[in-house]
Amino acid sequence: MKHLIILFFLAALTTGSLSAQSRLQTATNLSLGGGGTAYMDSYDANFLNPANIMLRNDRKTKLSFGLVGLGVSAGGPLANIKTYNKYLTTGQTLTTTLSTEMLDEWFGKDPEVSTSFGMEVGILSFGSAFQGSNWAASLAIRNRVLTNVGVSRGLPEVFFHGLDPAVFGNGRAVNMNVDVLAFTEVSLGYARHVIDLNGMKFYAGIAPKILMGHNTQRLDFNSTITANNGNFRHRYDYTIQTLGALADGLTDYARDRDNTPAGADKPEIGDYIETGASDFTGVQTTGLGFDLGATMIMNADFVPIPQWGPFKGARQLTVGLSITDIGKLNFSSASQFSNNGEVFFSGFNYDKDLIDAQFDGDFGKYAESVLKDSIGADAYLDFNKDGSAKVGRALPATINLGTHLKMGRFGLMLDIGKGLNDTGINSTNMYMALGTEYRLFGFWPLRMGLRAGGYSSTTYHFGTGLEFRNFEFSFGAASSTSSEKGAGISTAFSGLVFHF
Amino acid sequence: MKPITKLFGVIATVGLIAGCEIPSKPDFKTSQKVDVKILNSTEFKFLGGKKALIDTTKGDIADFFSTDPNGVVSISTTEDFDFGDLNDAIPVISVAPTTVDAEVGPLKLNEFSSDSGPNGLGSANFQQLTGLNPSLFPAGTPILGASSPNPVNISLATNYLVSATIREGSILMTLNNKLGFNLSTVNMTLKSGNNVVGAINFTNLLHNTQQTTSLVIPPNTVLQSINVDVSIAWATQNLQAQPNELIVQNVAGDGLEASQVVAAVGPQSFSTAGKIVVAEDQFLFTQAGDYIEVESGTLDINRIANNMGLGIQSFVLSLPSIRRAPYGVGDSLVIRFEGATALTAGRVIENFLVPLANTRIIAPNNEVRYSVAATTQDLRQGDNSTPATIRATDNVFASVGISNLAIRSAIGTIVTKSVELNEDDPSNGTNIDLFNDNEANLITLDGIEDLSDKIEGLEFRDARLSISYQTNIGISAKVVGSFVGVDAKGQLLYLTGKPGSPLHVASNPFTNFTSKGVPINASQMIQFQLATSPDGSMISGSIDFNNTNSTIIDFLNKLPVEIRFIGKAVINENNQRGQIQSPVRFEPKILVDIPLSIQTVSAAVYEDTLDVDLADLPGPDDDRRLTNATITVSYVNRLPLEINLNLDFLDDNFVVLTSSPRSGQAATKLLASPVDANGFVLPAGRTGTMVIQLDRSQMDILNRTRKIGLRTSLLTTDGGVVRIRANDGFTMGLNGSFSITTTVN
């Protein structure tokens, strides 16, 4: 076991492919690197490992409830703070060579590959758990917004190089995707003591949950820009999946655009884009999901650390295994808009008749119109509504294995896991979360951790709080020190948590 | 836990946080490059529709440019000069009023009495004349020869004559013998009252016969209450009838004229004749057929007065020099005062006007002849006659003239005169100023204003100006005046005739011509002769101002945007006979024709200042800066012009911020198309590129630019004469290459 733990630890530190996942971020587990499969208890366990509802972590109380816990995580390769600081904060002029060097570091050399940035906001608005002697149950309600933005190298190249033929002469992919999913989970967890075996206690738990989908937006924009010999060519293909006010606005815009009389100004799309709070509060669809897990607790006196100082006290090893966020939301009321085409600009055509007739002889107005309408409304904004679409959004499912070695007031936690899809900040790459905790005076926890892999570079975590017998309030934060693989930043507040 | 352990934990925690990566404030500059076609290759024809250098669909431009069969473009325009008519050329005939004084003259006395019947004017009986008792001498009774013992006075009943002062003539005395026997003599003494006027004798006055004898009345004899003393002598004889009377049967004048009478005279006819003089200052009737046909005007009898004591039953004024159509001798103007209009005694008629419209005045030697024939009323009304006092000097007085004479036509000799072709604005006295818009004739050539303002040095080889006109003037007329062209910069150039040409003005005959208040001299004038209509009908004529006879090339090379003219028509400079009729029409049109057949001996300069506000461009302090801009013009020039382009970027105060190209840099040049022997461009034109480059330091100040000064020098192909056709032009495309630096901090 000892060797196994060391092996995991070393692997996590040496590979960027290990990754944190889209998991519940509480003040506690965020401080400890984002794991928690083997130590997060009470109603939080619904979303990390439902078997842990049975865990008490030295508490004498049986009933817990909490309000308004908040966790925010963001990061990804796109948030490459190191490269950003290296190139974009020193006042230097980014020549073509320097820009290329920077973008090589930031986006890699493959222009077809998109670099992403994700963010998850979760609010655990209510949670309650009751623990019996052999079973435990909990109820938790969590609101989640998952966002993922992906950009190919070509987009920043337009900004840093302009339409330099040296860059775009042979065509360059300029891609972007945006994915937003907002939903609420109402999770009901149940766990029980399954068996005692050779001094090891096994618990199992499951937390089915009702999923209420509020909104989903997805933009998938793929294009190629070619600029050479003074010509500009942009082939593009994009799809927008949306619903709510945005879908209505785009539908209205397409209608009005198509009904615009010849020669009249095309409508401004900005006049049609409206979003309201109702887009993220109303329930557009419902679904079912679940989280499940198993936990084993055993005595850890075998750990070869002397009973000294901070490690003095009872020793216990907890191992947990969970599969979370199994489920899917199907938005049947979504609309899909798509467009593909090509903009080719090789100079303005000097159409004096047209300029006189429609622009009072003002070439400037004519040029503006060409750019705005002919290229804008008539090309990029010439999307069609494909009709209503049934859009499925899988939850950011993960599989996680975690351990928690408790030695008196000191704790050491290690999780590894892997995303089963790329929803939100989820990553199919493995991640590792390592954390330690020491509880000063028994109520003042000091927590540190690190997370490696996943959607960002290694992040370092810290948290503290006050955790009394009946009340606790804590927070945690994390950031990366080196963002070559993408910065990560997270923060979480426990909200108000009571134990009785 | 020991304190050292706790401290370790805190340090580790702080270190963890401090080691976290935090993004710094952005501070960098991008260097973007854009290489883009701005304008697709576009063909611009020189002249044509909207996509032409000169858009003939705009305003009245189309009227301004024309092409000849070879396609050569001309700037041409035809403008009317509105002179109205030249009726001032028609002579103004003035006729001084003439006094017509018609005296009655010597008065003719013919009849003395209204009744000369059986009883005559008076008589003496048998007894008075013989002293014998007639009862003793019945018929057949002998009477012894004897004579009257005493003259017997017989008063004469002359009710027509009260008195008369005889001027000359005789009186015829008629005796009727009713005495019953023959008289051998009758002695009769005529007396005026008691004054003896004269005596006459009748001989052998037989019984029952009458005998008339004449008595010459001495001049100045006053006859008044005339009577006669009569005595008779007879021979012995038998009475042939019962004795009766010797009757003065009649007394009548015989050529008897009086200078004054108080009498009931019969109609007195009198007449007079004279002439009305037509002034010779403007028109001369030099030949028999000369005349003036009157458009309007009146013969004015300003006052006609009968100054006599008796009426004039007929007063006839005849003017054989004034004739109505068909203008024969019998068509003379005759004015009669008769009947209701008769001049009764003492009558005065004021302002009696006789319209002369449509009459002709035929006045040889410039004299309008007239005659008056008048007859007084007949006072003899029998017993009801009322004698009147009449003097030979009694008259009818009239003042006769011709006024407001407007001439429709005239044949004769019009005295040389000058006629203003411009209206006179009294604000500058009698001067006619080229730059007084109320006086000068003005044509504007708005269509070339831009060209005129901005181009200088082009020489239009075949430019010409001509005046075509229509006129009906039948006499020699020469226009002498001043044409001044004003270009868009306000520069003046006068069109003058070249020395030796008929258009040359050697000396200025007019002192009232000014240009901006300064007298015009001969070197600023031009003249031309108008054609003469043979019969007064409208004819056409034209005058060409060309390079041979005038300074027209220099004049039009200035591309005047307005041409002003003042002038006079000198009528019948050589005093020749001719004809003229109203209205005298002179309807000129000015034709300006400037074929674009041009040559640049030295480079022509086209300058323009365009309002171009480049404030939106980034400046040196802006985050986004243009650091380099290169505009490449790819062209095919099918114009026979080489264009050297200089751009000055100016601020609001026209201060040059920078220029392109900079001093020492290669010229920004568009090469001229080659031409054929006729100066026409070759179809292939000239292909090339022209680069306009602005470096970073120039770009930094571009945003202060508010105007761009365009200085273009133009050279015709090889400096020769070239001709520009409507379909000439050029094709151009624009490529832009820009470097943009964006600062983010």
Work out the pLDDT band at A366, boundaries 50, 70, 90: confident
SS3 labels along A217-260? EEEEEEEEEEEECCEEEEEEEEEEEECCHHHHHHHHHHHHHHCC
What burial class does residue A305 get, using C-beta atoms within 10 Å of its C-beta: 0-12 exposed, 13-18 middle, 19+ buried?
middle
- Does position B47 have pLDDT exceeding 60, yes or no? yes
Q: What is the pLDDT of residue A10?
A: 33
* Mean per-residue pLDDT, B32-50: 79
- Window 409-428 of A: residues touching B by CB (8 A cutoff) are 409
Is A291:A398 a contact under the CB 8 Å cutoff? no
- Does position B121 have pLDDT exceeding 60, yes or no? yes
- Does position B5 have pLDDT exceeding 70, yes or no? no
- Taking the CA of residue B6 and the nearest CA in chain A, the distance in Å comes to 8
Smallest Cβ–Cβ distance between B17 and the set A81, A462, A482 belongs to A462
Encode pLDDT of A374-396 as tens digits: 676 678 888 888 877 788 888 98
Smallest Cβ–Cβ distance between A87 and the set B13, B28, B36 belongs to B28
A133 phi, psi to nearest 5 deg: -80, -35
Which of A181, A123, A172 is CA-nearest to residue A148? A181
Distance (Å, rounded) from C-alpha A211 to C-alpha B570?
A: 111
- Window 175-234 of A: residues touching B by CB (8 A cutoff) are 227, 230-232
Smallest Cβ–Cβ distance between A162 and the set B12, B34, B37 belongs to B34
Residues whose CB falls within 8 Å of the CB of residue A225, separated by 6 or more in sequence, listed in order: A154, A158, A163, A168, A171, A172, A174, A232, A233, A234
What's the mean per-residue pLDDT of chain B? 86
Scanning B232-288, the segments in alpha helix (DSSP H) are: none
**CA-to-CA separations, B737 to A206, B34, B621, B662, in angstroms, rounded:** 65, 6, 22, 19
Is B555:B561 a contact under the CB 8 Å cutoff? no
Encode pLDDT of B684-698 as tens digits: 999 999 888 888 888
CA–centroid distance for B242 within its chain: 93
Q: What is the pLDDT of residue B674?
A: 94
- Taking the CA of residue A32 and the nearest CA in chain B, the distance in Å comes to 12
Work out the pLDDT band at A454, boundaries 50, 70, 90: low
**Highest-confidence segment of A21-35, A296-310, B352-366:** B352-366
**Highest-confidence segment of A188-197, B20-29, B79-88, B733-742:** A188-197
Chain-chain contact of A85 with B21 (C-beta, under 8 angstroms): yes
Q: What is the pLDDT of residue A12?
A: 34
User: Which H or E run includes B690?
Assistant: strand B686-694
- Taking the CA of residue A368 and the nearest CA in chain B, the distance in Å comes to 13
* Mean per-residue pLDDT, B300-324: 90
Work out the pLDDT band at B489, boundaries 50, 70, 90: confident
Smallest Cβ–Cβ distance between A95 and the set B27, B31, B51 belongs to B31
- Beta bridge pairs of residue A384: A338
Kindly state the tokens that stand for B416. Answer: 């040389």
Shortest CA distance from A87: residue in chain B: B28
Distance (Å, rounded) from C-alpha A204 to C-alpha A54?
A: 9
Work out the pLDDT band at A69, boundaries 50, 70, 90: confident
Query: What predicted TM-score, i.e. pTM, was given to this entire model?
Result: 0.60
Q: What is the pLDDT of residue B232?
A: 95
Shortest CA distance from A447: residue in chain B: B13
* Mean per-residue pLDDT, B458-481: 88
Is A49:A320 a contact under the CB 8 Å cutoff? yes
Ramachandran assignment for A257, one of left (phi > 0), alpha (psi -120 to 50 degrees), beta (any other): alpha
* Mean per-residue pLDDT, B662-671: 82
Kindly state the tokens that stand for A317. Answer: 């090893």
Smallest Cβ–Cβ distance between B26 and the set A88, A93, A356 belongs to A88
Q: What is the pLDDT of residue B318?
A: 93
- Taking the CA of residue A151 and the nearest CA in chain B, the distance in Å comes to 19
Q: What is the pLDDT of residue B149?
A: 92
Is B345:B390 a contact under the CB 8 Å cutoff? no
Smallest Cβ–Cβ distance between A440 and the set B6, B28, B50 belongs to B6
Residues whose CB falls within 8 Å of the CB of residue B337, separated by 6 or more in sequence, listed in order: B304, B312, B314, B315, B316, B317, B343, B349
- Beta bridge pairs of residue A444: A440
Chain-chain contact of A95 with B38 (C-beta, under 8 angstroms): no
Q: What angle do CA A400, A410, A418 make, to 5 degrees?
A: 10
Work out the pLDDT band at A350, boundaries 50, 70, 90: confident
Is A149:A118 a contact under the CB 8 Å cutoff? yes
Smallest Cβ–Cβ distance between B38 and the set A309, A347, A477 belongs to A347
Smallest Cβ–Cβ distance between B20 and the set A96, A164, A460 belongs to A460
Encode pLDDT of A247-301 as tens digits: 888 999 999 988 988 777 788 888 888 766 677 778 889 999 999 999 999 998 8
Whether A164 contacts chain B with CB within 8 A: yes
Work out the pLDDT band at A326, boundaries 50, 70, 90: very high
Chain-chain contact of B5 with A309 (C-beta, under 8 angstroms): yes
- Does position A13 have pLDDT exceeding 50, yes or no? no
Encode pLDDT of B82-105 as tens digits: 776 788 888 888 788 888 888 888
- Window 272-311 of A: residues touching B by CB (8 A cutoff) are 309-310
- Taking the CA of residue A233 and the nearest CA in chain B, the distance in Å comes to 11
Shortest CA distance from B9: residue in chain A: A446
Q: What is the pLDDT of residue B70?
A: 81
Smallest Cβ–Cβ distance between A347 and the set B16, B22, B733 belongs to B733
Work out the pLDDT band at A143, boundaries 50, 70, 90: very high
Q: What percent of chain B has pLDDT over 70?
A: 94
Contacts of B738 in chain A (CB under 8 A): 162
- Does position B332 have pLDDT exceeding 90, yes or no? yes
User: Which H or E run includes B9?
Assistant: helix B3-18
- Does position A20 have pLDDT exceeding 50, yes or no? no
- Does position A15 have pLDDT exceeding 50, yes or no? no
Shortest CA distance from A92: residue in chain B: B28
Distance (Å, rounded) from C-alpha B547 to C-alpha B552?
A: 6
Q: What is the pLDDT of residue A1?
A: 36
Chain-chain contact of B34 with A159 (C-beta, under 8 angstroms): no
Q: What is the pLDDT of residue B109?
A: 87
Kindly state the tokens that stand for B744. Answer: 């983010």
Chain-chain contact of A161 with B35 (C-beta, under 8 angstroms): no
- Beta bridge pairs of residue B645: B668, B712
Among A31, A93, A101, A443, most B C-beta atoms within 10 A, so best to mutate, is A93
DSSP string, B670-687: EPPPPB-TTSPBPTT-EE
Distance (Å, rounded) from C-alpha B396 to C-alpha B301?
A: 13
Among A82, A89, A474, most B C-beta atoms within 10 A, so best to mutate, is A89
Work out the pLDDT band at B62, boundaries 50, 70, 90: low
- Does position A353 have pLDDT exceeding 80, yes or no? no
Chain-chain contact of A480 with B29 (C-beta, under 8 angstroms): no
Work out the pLDDT band at B10, boundaries 50, 70, 90: low
Is B683:B660 a contact under the CB 8 Å cutoff? no
Chain-chain contact of B28 with A88 (C-beta, under 8 angstroms): yes
Work out the pLDDT band at B413, boundaries 50, 70, 90: very high
DSSP string, B367-399: EEEEEEEEEEPP---GGG---EEEETT-EEEEE
Q: Among A7-21, A95-109, A397-411, which stretch is predicted with the lowest mean pLDDT? A: A7-21
Q: What is the pLDDT of residue A6?
A: 36
Distance (Å, rounded) from C-alpha A290 to C-alpha A300?
A: 31
CB atoms within 10 A of CB A405: 23
Among B28, B55, B632, most A C-beta atoms within 10 A, so best to mutate, is B28
**CA-to-CA separations, A55 to A24, A193, A440, B183, in angstroms, rounded:** 17, 10, 21, 208
Chain-chain contact of B33 with A163 (C-beta, under 8 angstroms): yes
- Taking the CA of residue A88 and the nearest CA in chain B, the distance in Å comes to 5
Kindly state the tokens that stand for B195. Answer: 């004054």
Encode pLDDT of B245-304 as tens digits: 999 999 999 999 999 999 888 888 889 999 888 888 889 999 988 999 999 999 998 889
Distance (Å, rounded) from C-alpha A459 to C-alpha B19?
A: 10
What is the greatest pairwise CA distance in chain A? 94
Shortest CA distance from B41: residue in chain A: A349
Q: Which residues of A60-93 are buried (b: 16+ CB within 10 A; e: fewer)?
A: eeeebbbeebbbbbbbbbbbbbbbbbbbbbeeee
Distance (Å, rounded) from C-alpha A50 to C-alpha B648?
A: 79
HSE on the CB side for B542, CA within 13 Å?
A: 11
Distance (Å, rounded) from C-alpha B464 to C-alpha B461?
A: 9
Encode pLDDT of B425-451 as tens digits: 999 999 999 999 999 988 887 767 766
